[in-house]
Amino acid sequence: MSVSRAVEWGVLLGMRKVETVEQMPEEYRQVLLKLLGALASTEFASVEQHQPWINRGPTSEDRYIQAQIAADEAHQGFIDCRLLRAFGPEGVALADDLLRRRMGEHPLDAFNVPFESWIDTIALYTLWPGTTCAPWRTRASPRGRGR
């Protein structure tokens, strides 16, 4: 089986595969910057959401799980930032901005909602999307509106 150097499907069919940032078409580059930026933002925002419960979870196992979630999310966020920095000055600026953001400043609204109670730490995963829980539906939907 040989490895093709050409894209084998999609709108870029036949184009030489992109192997470096410098080879990327500008539109492709901009889309990747936005995707990586949004992804990294969710990772760091999740750390903020879980962090208060590292010491306040109801059991030692719950606290351990919260610490592990926060560690995993931070690790992935730093990987995403390292990828962003490969995009040159624009990626470096975006990575630096992501590391300064705090709750309420993330592009995806669901990650701007603090986990105010222990139930909140699991509600996002059990009730989202299409939640019937009015406080979550109102606060976590786009621009704070209910569905």
Using DSSP, state whether 6 is helix, strand or coil: strand
* pLDDT exceeds cutoff 60 at 101: yes
Give the confidence band of 82 by pLDDT, cuts at 50, 70, 90: very high
Question: Does some domain include residue 5?
Answer: no
* Within-domain flag for 102: yes
CA distance 116 to 53: 9
How long a stretch of residues is the chain?
Answer: 147
Tell me the two tokens of residue 99: 């590391």
Question: How many domains is the chain built from?
Answer: 1
Instruction: Supply the pLDDT for residue 41.
Output: 92
83 confidence band (pLDDT: 50, 70, 90): very high
Confidence of residue 125 (pLDDT cuts 50, 70, 90): low
Average pLDDT across the chain, whole number: 84
pLDDT: which is higher, 83 or 108: 83
**pTM, to two decimals:** 0.73
Which structural domain range is residue 30 located in?
Answer: 23-144
Lowest mean pLDDT among 91-100, 117-126, 129-138: 129-138
Here the CATH number for the domain that contains residue 80 is 1.20.1260.10
- Stretch 73-99: mean pLDDT, rounded? 95
Q: What is the pLDDT of residue 143?
A: 45
92: in domain = yes
User: What span, in angstroms and rounded, lies between the C-alpha atoms of 60 and 65?
Assistant: 9
pLDDT on residue 144: 43
